[in-house]
Structure 1
Amino acid sequence: MGKKSLLRNSAIYSTIMLLQKGINFFLIPILTIYLTPFDYGIVAVVMAINTFLNVFYLLALNGSLNRFYYEFKEDEGLVKRFFGTIVTFVLFNSFIVSAIIFLGRRWLLEPFLVDVEFFPYMFLGLISVIFNPCYLIYQNSLQARQEGVRYGKNNIAFFVFNMVLLLVGVIVFDLGAKGVLGALAITNIVFFVYTLFSFKKDLIFGIDKKILRKAIKYSFPVIPHTLAGVATSLIDRLLINKILSTSLAGIYSIGNNFGAVVFLLASGINQAFVPWFNQKIKENSTERIPEISRFLIVIYCLIALGLSFFGREIILLITPKAYHKSWIVIPFISFAYVYHGVYYFFASSLFYDIQGRGNRIIPVATILSALLNILLNLVFIPLYDILGAALATFLSKLFLTIFLSFVHNKYLNVGYPIRYMLLAPLGFFTISLLSYSWEFSLPFLLFKALIFILVLSVSYSVFKSDIRKYLTEIKLFN
């Protein structure tokens, strides 16, 4: 893969992810008008459950595509049998798992649904999760074959089609949560059919037992790590729904979407950072890696501070009164995702370890972080309402980052400034707590603006030479 293709594909993947995930943020002014907090909570709960279920539908087999495509790619027939084996097995598994969930919904789903009715809401969710895995596998196959442009076109088509249906269902037909979930279900059905037609020339349907055993052996160890990551990101909404109410789950989701802007930025940059990082390590040229990490962490912190300081005013401006409470979680959520961005830097070292020893550490860290997150949610939500869930997310992300900071350099030491990477976000976070000091008022808004400008000025003075260098180079990763 040439450097130009690497950068182009990284840019495509990052842009598509930001577009898809960022829509939750940009649709807030529209959806909060047409959806009640209860409707918003229904969508949040169903989508959280869907994300959990998707792990059991895919069994991380989509991740095996990148690994084994390069092993098989010299034999076109073997590649087709490989793709066909994964698709056939996942299709079979999807309908088996769906039947088990549907028949056992009283025990498997309803304890988490609480006030959310299975029909029609969770039923629509199940339709989405049944038909989505094959499309995901098809998209992963395009990534494995380095067809970034085709991957991007497919995702944009999926995104636009879903958004049109969603807006029609919610605004024109006033279907509320059914409009959001129904739009996604229809979109997944349509793109499932599209996948079958587009992918059929690249695969041979049927299961090759030898190939399947290899793929499962590779993928199964990833499942606990994937589940832990999902749990850390989404368990708060399910527990708020169960302990507090569905409406509060919806209100929390609004604040979480604001804070998740930092996550979108960090994840998008990470997709470009990882191949650049790997290239620098391979070239034995690591001097710029700590420099870049310091700069990016400050960028994340400044965005998180801006969201923390001005998120309240934005929410008051763009949402109905019923959602105004959601601002209180923004500082904790946004800085939780700053630490998630720091985690990416440490994880890069562990994933690079060619012996695979580092890969075994990351699932341990994520599972421990997920367990801590669940425990803290159970303790803090009854005590502090939705703010307790945000606090639990912040502390679990901090734990995850600290854990990896102690072990990452045992496998690959690139000279990260560990103390800075852990303490700098904590300093910015402490400043962000000023947002809780007074009630909303114009003098307080001006005070926060002055503090933010001061922090911005100090940060610029510290990184002035770096900024000039990056502007001269035009692009960050080169």
Structure 2
Amino acid sequence: MSKVIMGAAALSIGDILGKVIGFIILPYLTAHLGASGYGALTLYLSVIQMLIIFISFSGQGLLPVKYMQEGEGSSLVFRRDNITLAMASSVLLVAIFYIVTLVANISVSFSDGFLVVLASLAQALNFINLSHLRISQTYKVAAIGQFLLSAFNVLFTIVLFEMIAATPGQRLIAIAASFFSIQLAYEFFVYKKIKGERITCEPVRKRYKEIVSYGLSLLPHHGSYWIKSSIDRFFIAHYMSTAVVGVYGLAFQLTSIVMLFFGVINQAFQPFIYRKLKENDFRGVELIQYGYTGLVIVACVIYFFIMPFVFPYLFKAEFYRAIYYFNILLPGTAFLSIYYIFTHSLFYYRKNKIISIITMGSMITHLVGIFIITMTTIKVEYFCFVYAVSSLFACAATFIYGKRQINIERKR
């Protein structure tokens, strides 16, 4: 077990270091793109977040369950089918967007739209592969891969910006190139060498239907996060400007450091939580959940006091308003970070409907808040406050239902 824990820790450290490298480039991006250019990039990245959900069908959530309940062979077949569907859905999205550009006058060029879909596919494949590498405990390869991915991401961005042009499109090319390069490495150096059984008695149509049905059932779950983290930017762009979106987007990115950091830790805990649930070690699950929650709270408090001091040294004066938005957004990010650790028990017992109901409620809360803002006074800080309230709703509801599910299983 110690080797497993060390492997998980190595992957988490590698992934976190990779994320840190990715955030180091933020001052470079804002300096070269300016508030308006960074605002446009932020809008593209918001669309990518949503497309990843459609392209991957949230398969990275069901794959570990397949591995634990049906074995590695079943999970490998699932991974292959999931990737096939991801590629097919990406082609369909490009075709639909091309038709839209022919019949409608839109401000986004076909080339930019194509790059958005390409970057979405690359990241969706990474989610799928990383999910399998984690649950199969292939930690060393995954850790190296994620670290190199972020390093390539930064390197490709700087090369393209300096040699061609500093544009949102070049940033999308760098994202797609870095993610695809690592996925190809995973395919040739890991999955081509796995000799496990990949034969299944189920017909292809049934397997595809399972993936699509699972993805559709979780659309409210993932859609809620997208609405809370991204839709605000489109309202701000419409009522204000892309420059304001750039400032708000930077504030959100800075709070997202917490989400990404604890997202890595949260995913690292997933296999351990699943194994403890399988062994009916419910006390062990609760210790992980409460310990993780404490870490999130302490980290956010420290981050809250540090950021105002370092911000002026990293970003230009046109972005200074971002620190004010950051202070309001941070509690919402903390609530969401805690929310995800309590979803594992619900996912394990396939309580997708409960998760969807909770996230639907959170999403409705957020949308009602936005509606009130648009009908009264439009200020960026109000959007930040709505984000915090809707995140608190999701966190509290998931904690209650997750604890209830564990109590039900404990009594059996």
TM tier, smaller:
0.7 to 0.9
The answer as to 2:149 corresponding to 1:153 is no
User: Does the aligned pair in 1 maintain the 2:312–2:320 contact within 8 Å?
Assistant: yes
CA distance in 1, matches of 2:18, 2:65: 25
Provide the residue aligned with 2:260 in structure 1. 264
Decide whether aligned partners of structure 1 residues 370 and 24 sit closer, same or farther in structure 2, where only a CA change above 3 A counts: farther
User: Does the aligned pair in 1 maintain the 2:335–2:392 contact within 8 Å?
Assistant: yes
User: Does the aligned pair in 2 maintain the 1:38–1:247 contact within 8 Å?
Assistant: yes
Q: How many angstroms does 1:177 deviate by?
A: 2.4
CA distance in 2, matches of 1:186, 1:296: 34
Decide whether aligned partners of structure 1 residues 129 and 168 sit closer, same or farther in structure 2, where only a CA change above 3 A counts: same
Decide whether aligned partners of structure 1 residues 104 and 19 sit closer, same or farther in structure 2, where only a CA change above 3 A counts: farther
The answer as to 2:313 corresponding to 1:317 is yes
CA distance in 1, matches of 2:82, 2:296: 38
* 3-state SS, counterpart of residue 166 of structure 2: coil
Per-residue CA distance 1:189-225 (angstroms, 9 max, x = gap): 5456556645456679xx8334333444444423332
Decide whether aligned partners of structure 1 residues 118 and 232 sit closer, same or farther in structure 2, where only a CA change above 3 A counts: same
User: Does the aligned pair in 2 maintain the 1:256–1:333 contact within 8 Å?
Assistant: yes
Instruction: Find 2:361's aligned residue among 358, 361, 368.
Output: 368
Pick which of 237-246 and 19-28 moved more. 19-28
Decide whether aligned partners of structure 1 residues 273 and 238 sit closer, same or farther in structure 2, where only a CA change above 3 A counts: same
Decide whether aligned partners of structure 1 residues 367 and 124 sit closer, same or farther in structure 2, where only a CA change above 3 A counts: same
Q: CA RMSD in A?
A: 3.5
Q: How many angstroms does 1:413 deviate by?
A: 4.1
Decide whether aligned partners of structure 1 residues 148 and 254 sit closer, same or farther in structure 2, where only a CA change above 3 A counts: same
Provide the residue aligned with 1:380 in structure 2. 373
Decide whether aligned partners of structure 1 residues 155 and 133 sit closer, same or farther in structure 2, where only a CA change above 3 A counts: same
Per-residue CA distance 1:423-455 (angstroms, 9 max, x = gap): xxxxxxxxxxxxxxxxxxxxxxxxxxxxxxxxx
Letter matched to residue 95 of structure 1: V
* 3-state SS, counterpart of residue 320 of structure 2: helix
Structure 2 alignment gaps of length 5 or more? none
User: Does the aligned pair in 2 maintain the 1:239–1:378 contact within 8 Å?
Assistant: no
Provide the residue aligned with 2:283 in structure 1. 286
Q: How many angstroms does 1:160 deviate by?
A: 1.8
CA distance in 1, matches of 2:121, 2:281: 45
Instruction: Find 2:300's aligned residue among 278, 300, 304.
Output: 304
Matches of residues 59-458 of structure 1 in structure 2 within 5 Å? Answer: 59-70=57-68, 73=71, 82-105=78-101, 110=106, 117-118=108-109, 120-191=111-182, 193-194=184-185, 197-198=188-189, 199=191, 208-277=204-273, 282=279, 284=281, 286=283, 289=286, 297-351=293-347, 354=349, 356=350, 358-380=351-373, 383-413=377-407
Instruction: Find 1:46's aligned residue among 44, 57, 61.
Output: 44
Q: How many angstroms does 1:40 deviate by?
A: 0.8
CA distance in 2, matches of 1:71, 1:412: 18
Instruction: Find 2:12's aligned residue among 3, 11, 14.
Output: 14
User: Does the aligned pair in 1 maintain the 2:35–2:247 contact within 8 Å?
Assistant: yes
CA distance in 2, matches of 1:19, 1:107: 45
CA distance in 2, matches of 1:108, 1:85: 34
Figure out how many residues of one structure are paired with residues of the other and give that number: 399
Q: How many angstroms does 1:306 deviate by?
A: 3.8
Q: How many angstroms does 1:378 deviate by?
A: 3.9
Structure 1 alignment gaps of length 5 or more? 111-115, 415-478
Q: Which structure has the greater CA radius of gyration?
A: 1
* 3-state SS, counterpart of residue 359 of structure 2: helix
Percent identical pairs in the alignment equals: 20
Letter matched to residue 343 of structure 1: Y
